[in-house]
Amino acid sequence: MVLAAAVAAGSFLAYAVAGPGGVRAVQPLPAVAGTAAGGSVTTTAEADRPSTSGGKAVLYISPWCPNCERALRVFIGRDPTGTKWEPVVVPQSDLRAGEEKLRALGYTGDVRSEASVPAEGVPYLRSADGRGFLGATRCLEWAQSNL
């Protein structure tokens, strides 16, 4: 399943849920700050972002980033279904390329996209307890202990 959102004036206006069979739903969202759609879609302001995705760690990645691919290979090797983590492709315009990369590496879980990452770069991991880990080395250290 893929969750994509449209952004205008810094707020999400709508989201679409898509899977292997195509788009299942498009839902309008109010253009206000805060969390919408049960916490899975938020504005791009870091303070408004969920720290996790359903109790999972969230790994922000770009499909063009070699260090992201290095981290993804380990995360997917340890948890290919995303039981304990969920990838978030940034920026949203790279969602399709990100999902293709994840599937090619063997990932079978849900994929999300956001307009930006709440850090200075990728890969960036937000653990279930809210701690942040920037860079492949720190993300891989977390994975070795938690996946």
3-state secondary structure of 72: helix
Burial of 29 (0-12, 13-18, 19+ CB in 10 A): middle
The structural domains of the chain, with segments of one domain joined by +, span 2-146
Per-residue pLDDT in tens (0 to 9) along the chain, 147 residues: 444 444 443 333 344 444 454 444 434 433 333 332 333 333 334 434 444 457 899 999 999 999 999 999 999 999 999 999 999 999 999 999 999 999 999 999 999 999 998 889 999 999 999 999 999 999 999 999 999
Amino acid at 30: P
The DSSP code for 53 is B
**62 touches 90 (CB < 8 A):** yes
Instruction: DSSP letter for 136, please.
Output: H
Assign domain 2-146 to its CATH superfamily. Answer: Glutaredoxin (3.40.30.10)
Q: What is the rounded distance in angstroms from the CA atom of residue 90 to the CA atom of residue 80?
A: 20
